Structures are given as structure tokens and as C-alpha cells.
Amino acid sequence: MNFELPKIYPITDALLSKISHVEQVEKLIKGGASFIQLREKYASPQEFYKSAESALKLARARDVKIIINDRVDIALALKADGVHLGQDDLLPAEARKILGGKAIIGFSTHNIEQAVTAIRFPIDYLAIGPIFTTGTKENPDAVVGLEDLRKVREATGNFPLVAIGGINLENLREVYKAGADSAAIISSLISDTGKISENYKLFSSL
Ligand code: TZP
Ligand code: MG
């Protein structure tokens, strides 16, 4: 593997944080983040390209890795570190052909069956969620829960595993205990704009 999965995997959201992706990246880096996903569900591809370009420029200067959500084209054009794909995005094998062997490819799954299928794909990590109820994702899949997270860990051996969805300071330890290598977090990290750096530090100290 050409990267180390961080224990806390921050994901940006311009709507929730009310600030740009580059501003979120700056605050996350200030808090110690070295691996960040840019997630943009509302802006046009053109706008996302522009904001990802600024975020990537800053991240490059600080030796921080940037993963682009959904958009293989934008990841390729900006030479981002990788892409995070969902069940309906380009298949990981197609993305791998486009982005090459060095790109980090993550893949979202929502149940044990999808997770077991995913470990045969050319991906670097798999994500499973929503573990808890989340208000961040539109039309989220059914809540997976800690028990099924445990089962996913068992069924996928030591495959790099990211848990996502409704993770906060209270439940983070349970998520690691159930077998997640990493916790991907949006709202409890970035929705209080003034506390993004502080929150990252707090989460990564647990
Ligand atoms: N995929 C499953 S849940 C989710 C995504 C993108 C949203 C996670 O956001 P939050 O605010 O940490 O629940
Ligand atoms: Mg997607």
C-alpha cells in the first residue's frame, strides 16, 4: 500500500461548514490532518474543479494527501492522490485503468455482501456505512450498526477498513473496538467552522 490510512479521515463539506474546501483543508491541516477527502455534492463540476484545485495546491505545499469524492475526471486532471467511489460511480477497475497503479482508490459499501465483494476490487481501502444515523448524506442506506461493522471486519480479514456515518466523540471508541482502522467524519468535525482544527486534534487524540 502506498499510503497509511489515518485513524481519523476528515471529509470536507462546503454546505455544512459554510466555508470553501480550501479553507476547510487549511483548518484541518492546522489541526494535524495529512489525508483529506474533498466531497462536493452540489456545485457544478466546473466549480468543484476550481475549488479542488486551490485545495490541492495548498495540500501539496504541506505534503498532505487529497482524495476526490466521486469524480475520477477531476482527480485525473488535478493529479490528486486518489479518488473515493460509491456503488454507482465508475467501477474501481475502470478508475484504476484511468488513474494508474499509484492512485489511492477507496470504495463505499453499505452492507456485508458489498464489503465482501469489494475486497476483490483493485482498491486500497473499503468504507462501510452509515454506521450510525446521519443527516449529512441525502438518501442514506440503512444504518449498518456496530454489530455488522464487527461482521464486516471478520469477513474482510485485515483489509483496510474505514467506518463512516454519524461518528462523534461519544461513539468513536466503539467504532475502533468493532474493528475499523479509520473513522471518516464530516459533521462532527467541520460543522462548527470555528472549531475545525480543535476538533481534528480532539478526535485524533482518542
Ligand atoms: N456515506 C455514508 S454516511 C456518510 C457518507 C458520505 C455521511 C457521513 O457524514 P457524518 O456527518 O460524519 O455522518
Ligand atoms: Mg460517490
Q: What's the rounded Cα separation, in Å, for the pair 74 and 114?
A: 26
Look at residue 3 in the predicted model and tell me its pLDDT.
Answer: 80
Give me the tens of pLDDT residue by residue for the chain, a chain 206 residues long. 568 899 999 999 999 999 999 999 999 999 999 999 999 999 999 999 999 999 999 999 999 999 999 999 999 999 999 999 999 999 999 999 999 999 999 999 999 999 999 999 999 999 999 999 999 999 999 999 999 999 999 999 999 999 999 999 999 999 999 999 999 999 999 999 999 999 999 999 99
Q: Measured from the CA of 189, which atom of ligand 1 is nearest?
A: 12
> pLDDT tens-digit profile of 27-49?
999 999 999 999 999 999 999 99
Look at residue 134 in the predicted model and tell me its pLDDT.
Answer: 97
Ligand sitting nearest the alpha carbon of 133: 1
Cβ 167 under 6 angstroms from ligand 1: yes
Cβ 85 under 6 angstroms from ligand 1: no
Of the residues 7, 60, 137, 201, only one is catalytic, namely: 137
Decide: residue 197, CB within 10 A, 0-12 exposed, 13-18 middle, 19+ buried: middle
pTM: 0.97
* 200, 8 contact by CB (below 8 A): yes
Look at residue 1 in the predicted model and tell me its pLDDT.
Answer: 59
Look at residue 198 in the predicted model and tell me its pLDDT.
Answer: 98
CA distances from 188 to 166, 171, 175, 184, 197 (A): 8, 11, 15, 10, 12
